[in-house]
Structure 1
Amino acid sequence: MIINRRQFIINTLITAVAGSALMACGQSTTSKSITPVEIDPHTTCDLDGMLLADYPGPKAQIFYEGKESPTFFCDTVEMFNTLLSPEQVKAVSAAYVQDMGKADWDQPRGNWIPAKEGCYVLGSKRHGSMGPTIASFAHEADAKKFVGQWGGKFLRYAEIKPDMVDLSGGALHDTRM
């Protein structure tokens, strides 16, 4: 098959444009990494307005696509309830919890880890800001040591289900009222 010069130039241009477009697909102009934001004395929970620094137990934060600042939670149960809710349709860029193997339970600061990489303890005797909580850890050994001391069940991120993080229970099951 013989191609004339004009057809050769057109084919070359089409190939060059297509190749450039394909190469650009793998490059992101917004490849900014998302890092957790530290809480301060004025940081409030986006669900209930509580000051995070005033309460014990692990805290959490979610970054939604298109937002530079996170949504804060005063408790990991609130974060899981939000993420596992069928109404949750916002795209999540990142979620972080505190590593309670390193953080002080009574005044947790720093020690943020990606929520999906964490190990968790459900049903321990330790309470967070909203009562019973899900303790979060970076390392399995720390989580299992916590279970030995405080009780509870060891879980991976994917094992936490919506019925484990129901927020409607507090007042409904309080027999002192």
Structure 2
Amino acid sequence: MCTPLCSQFSWHRRHLLLTLAGGAVLLAGCGREPEAPAQPQEFDAATACALDGMLLADYAGPKAQVFYAGEARPHWFCDPVEMFHALLRPEQLRPVRAAFVQDMARADWEQPRGHWFDATTGIYVAGSRRHGAMGPTLASFRTESDAAAFAARHGGKLLRYAEVTPELADLSGGAMHDSRM
């Protein structure tokens, strides 16, 4: 059971890790040529999720991609929940160059393509009635007004990137209950 001090430490540790993720890229590049800024890519029918091998094109809802330092290709995630799960794990130490999610005010929920933006600037809706690849999802939006309109229609709570907790990135449902895998 976590005490208030433990909970406070956990909160501070998570925010420190999120803050340092961007700074780690600068430190990792010391003495080397800087890497070109990462640009979002588009997935195709064969693009698989880095965590569980699910094909992104087979599932509705927002997707995510993460570029780690020293790697030219993104690691794909079939849901922002998986992206946050990967980034918020205590053992995640690889410097992150960039993370992108889809603006679900612009992308088609059933077959999302394009409309990528910097995940750290996004507004997320947790607890809505709309599901993504992993079941309950964190719907991603570029603007707070679009996220609020989505929440008014489908329920949920608005969160900024730094407000997403490891508890919200729980993967105990989703893929474990997917009969298509």
TM range (shorter): 0.7 to 0.9
Q: Alignment partner for residue 78 of structure 2, among 74, 79, 93?
A: 74
Any gaps of 5 or more consecutive residues in structure 1?
A: 1-25
Q: Alignment partner for residue 52 of structure 1, among 50, 56, 63?
A: 56
Match for residue 45 of structure 2?
A: 41
Read off the aligned partner of 1:70 and give its amino acid letter.
P
Alignment identity in percent? 58
1:52-105 per-position Cα deviation (integer Å, ceiling 9, x unaligned): 011100000110000000100001100001111111111111000000010000
1:147 equivalenced with 2:151 (yes/no): yes
1:118-137 to 2 correspondences below 5 Å: 118-137=122-141
The alignment partner of 1:62 has SS state of strand
Instruction: Tell me the TM-score normalised to structure 2 length.
Output: 0.77
Shift of 1:46: 1.1
Read off the aligned partner of 2:119 and give its amino acid letter.
A
1:121-140 per-position Cα deviation (integer Å, ceiling 9, x unaligned): 00000000111000000011
Are the aligned partners of 2:135 and 2:173 in contact in 1 as well (CA < 8 Å)? Answer: no
Q: Alignment partner for residue 102 of structure 2, among 98, 104, 111?
A: 98
1:130-159 per-position Cα deviation (integer Å, ceiling 9, x unaligned): 110000000111000000000000111111
The alignment partner of 1:83 has SS state of helix
Aligned length: 149
Check 1:172–1:107 CA distance in 2 against 1; reply closer, same or farther (3 A cut). Answer: closer
Read off the aligned partner of 2:143 and give its amino acid letter.
H
Any gaps of 5 or more consecutive residues in structure 2?
A: 1-29
Comparing 99-108 with 159-168, greater Cα deviation is found at 159-168
Post-superposition, which runs of at least 4 consecutive aligned residues in structure 1 deviate over 6 A?
none
The alignment partner of 1:34 has SS state of coil
The separation in 2 between residues aligned to 1:131 and 1:153, in whole angstroms, is 16
The separation in 1 between residues aligned to 2:32 and 2:71, in whole angstroms, is 17
The alignment partner of 1:109 has SS state of coil
Select the structure of larger CA radius of gyration. Answer: 1
Root-mean-square deviation over aligned CA pairs: 2.2
1:28-72 per-position Cα deviation (integer Å, ceiling 9, x unaligned): 733512101101111111111111011100000110000000100
Match for residue 21 of structure 2?
A: none
